[in-house]
Structures are given as C-alpha cells and as structure tokens.
C-alpha cells in the first residue's frame, strides 16, 4: 500500500501526540480519517490543524469519543465510523492509543494497573476484533499496532517499576507477530506491523494522569495526586513532607521535560511509521534510542536488567533516570 490517497484510515488516540501527527500526515496523503480519543476537545484541535494545513478538501475527517479499554464503546466507534464515513470497509487501522501508569504491583492500586493494561493492550485487541470485517472487505488492508521499546525491554530505570505498561506492550508485540501467520492463512490481503518507539515527545505523562484520575482538568484530581505521589516515592524521594501543590509542580516539570527534551518529535515519529507501512515493514523501530537498545538487548539479554546496562545505555542516548 505505497499510495494512501483515497484510502480510509482509523486512528485511535488521535487527539494528541503521535496519533494527532498520524492523522495530519494521513490527511496530507489524501486519506479519509476517522479518529477516536477520550477527549473531544483534543480531537477537535487535531481536525482544526488538518483544515489549517489546507489539504483536507473533499476528505472525510470524523471524530469519535471513545475509551478503547471498553469493548462496547469500541463497537459503537466502529458503527459510527461506518455511518459517518459512509463505507463498509477501511484500509488502515492504527491502534495507537496508550497511557502510562500501574507501575508497581505493590504501590499501584488494582484499578490503575488494570486501566493501564486495558487501554494499552485491550484497546489493540478490541479494535482489531471490531474493525477486522471492514478490513476484510477492502482490496488491501494494514493493521498497525503501537507497542514500545518496553515491548522487548521492560525498563525505564532499574529502580522505577513499570509493570502494567511493559506487560501490555509485550502483549501487543506478541499479538502482532502472531497475526502475521493468522493473516497469511485467513486474510492474505491484510498486513500488520508492530511499532516500537523510544522516547518520543508527547503528552503521555499529562494525559495518563488525567485518565487515571478520571478528570479532564489540568489540575490533578485527588486520585491522580495520590498516584503521582506514589510514583515519585518509588524513585526514592521522600514525599512525606511535600505538599500537594509541590507534587503538582513536580509532575508538571516531569511532563514538560518528557515532551520538550525528547530526542524525537511526534511528527517525526509519525513520518517513520507511515514510511514503514508503505515499505511493508512488519517491525518498525522509531528513534535512534530504539535501534540502540534493540541491538544491545539482543546482544546481551541476560544483562538487560543490570544496573550498569541501563546506566551505559542511558548515558549513550541522553536519557535521564526514569525519564
């Protein structure tokens, strides 16, 4: 599928980050796009940016509010896509939505752990199940699942638990690889790719806290504050005497640093992903850090979680501990 013009694409998590940039670049390629997100306002901004790019004339760009961790909402999303895009088929499915959280089985609550896993893994599974008949009806199709370097290396630092996110991203990677044979046997006109980004400049830190705290406000909810406090404590910092206001400042600083100090922008990442899709790659590494850690884990898998392994890698690629 080297030419995307005239195709129809579905993008989950289209309100911000890589999802937003995928939508913009797909529209620039002449694609009709249906996006979903939990934030209607964020999707409206994505659509506005597409229209400002002056490349959306005659294309259908539809927005659909849905939580991908809820299968019923995903099915409603699919039905709305068919109705509003006026089609019974799609060509591209980008399972991009994801959040962080649920870092520890010990300090993170069950609800946070399950929500993170359900968004990052369940969203991929539910949307693939829901949209598969529409992909089958197309002359060609492609499923693009966003995993992470944490889908083959479960670490963001030797003292920073990251269990729910990593477990989900490993599941996404394994599912996509297993799909290669399943599609070859049952739907050979549909291809699949697993995307494994390194550190990309997105708003995932802020967005995750909003979703886990069940709030669309910039101010952290009581639940989000509690979760942020636990995560900061897990890095070894004594938070007992830190006020809620200072916790919010620390969270905002971390989110800003994650976005602004990333070695790759979301727009650059989206370009690499689309180039990989058009080239037919089933495995798409995004970022120099992704390529470097992939090589090192393959060379020394038994050492992948040693302290000096992380410190050497982090120093070489410019990561800070826990980013």
The pLDDT-based confidence of 208 (bands split at 50, 70, 90) is: low
- What CATH number belongs to 1-202+265-286? 3.40.50.720
Give the pLDDT score at 202: 75
Average pLDDT over residues 88-112: 92
Higher pLDDT, 63 or 257: 63
Report the sign of the C-alpha dihedral through residues 64, 65, 68, 74, in that order.
negative
Element (H, E) at 130: helix 123-137
pLDDT greater than 90 at residue 277: yes
Q: Do 31 and 4 touch, CB atoms closer than 8 A?
A: yes
Identify the pLDDT of residue 4: 95
Q: What is the mean pLDDT of residues 293-297?
A: 98
How large is the average pLDDT for residues 50-77? 90
User: What are the residues facing 89 on neighbouring strands?
Assistant: none
In this prediction, residues 225-249 reach a mean pLDDT of: 78
- pLDDT band, very low/low/confident/very high, at 58 (cuts 50, 70, 90): confident
Q: Among 143-152, 167-176, 203-212, 255-264, where is mean pLDDT lowest?
A: 203-212
Q: What is the mean pLDDT of residues 68-92?
A: 98
For 62, other C-beta atoms within 10 Å of its C-beta total 17
Domain ranges of the chain: 1-202+265-286, 203-261
81 or 100: which leads in pLDDT:
81
| pLDDT reading at 323 higher than 50 | no
Mean pLDDT of 82-93: 98
Rounded mean pLDDT of the chain?
90
Phi, psi (deg, nearest 5) at residue 223: -65, -40
In the chain, what percentage of residues exceed pLDDT 90? 70
Question: What contacts 195, CB < 8 A, 6 or more positions away?
Answer: 144, 145, 146, 147, 273, 276, 284, 286
The CB density around residue 236, as the number of other CB atoms within 10 Å, is 10
DSSP bridge partners of 195: 146, 284
What's the pTM value of the predicted model, to 2 decimals?
0.89
Q: Would the pLDDT of 103 be above 70?
A: yes
- Percentage with pLDDT > 70 across the chain: 89
- 113 vs 230: CA distance, rounded Å: 13
């Amino acid at each position: 599928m080297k030419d995307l013009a005239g195709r129809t694409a579905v993008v989950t998590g289209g309100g911000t980050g890589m999802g937003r940039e995928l939508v913009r670049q797909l529209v620039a390629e002449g694609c009709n796009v249906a996006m979903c997100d939990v934030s209607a306002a964020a999707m409206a901004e994505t659509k506005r940016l597409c229209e400002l790019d002056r490349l959306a004339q005659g294309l259908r760009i539809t927005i659909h509010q849905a939580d991908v961790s809820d299968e019923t909402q995903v099915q409603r999303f699919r039905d709305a896509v068919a109705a509003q895009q006026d089609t019974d088929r799609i060509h591209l499915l980008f399972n991009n939505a994801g959040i962080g959280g649920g870092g520890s089985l010990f300090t993170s609550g069950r609800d946070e752990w399950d929500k993170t896993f359900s968004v990052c893994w369940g969203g991929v599974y539910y949307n693939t199940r829901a949209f598969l008949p529409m992909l089958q009806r197309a002359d060609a199709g492609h499923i693009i699942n966003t995993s992470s370097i944490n889908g083959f290396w479960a670490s963001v630092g030797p003292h920073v638990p990251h269990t729910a996110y990593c477990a989900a991203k490993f599941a996404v990677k394994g599912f996509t690889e297993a799909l290669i044979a399943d599609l070859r046997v049952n739907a050979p006109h549909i291809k699949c790719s697993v995307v494994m980004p390194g550190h990309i400049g997105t708003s995932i830190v802020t967005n995750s806290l909003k979703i886990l705290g069940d709030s669309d406000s910039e101010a952290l909810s009581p639940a989000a504050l509690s979760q942020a406090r636990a995560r900061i404590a897990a890095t070894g910092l004594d938070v007992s005497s830190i006020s809620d206001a200072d916790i919010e400042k620390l969270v905002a600083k971390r989110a800003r640093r994650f976005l602004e100090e990333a070695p790759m922008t979301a727009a650059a990442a989206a370009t690499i992903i689309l180039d990989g899709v058009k080239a037919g790659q089933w495995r798409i590494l995004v970022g120099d850090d992704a390529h470097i850690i992939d090589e090192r884990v393959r060379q020394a898998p038994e050492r992948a979680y040693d302290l000096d392994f992380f410190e050497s890698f982090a120093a070489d690629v410019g990561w800070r501990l826990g980013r």
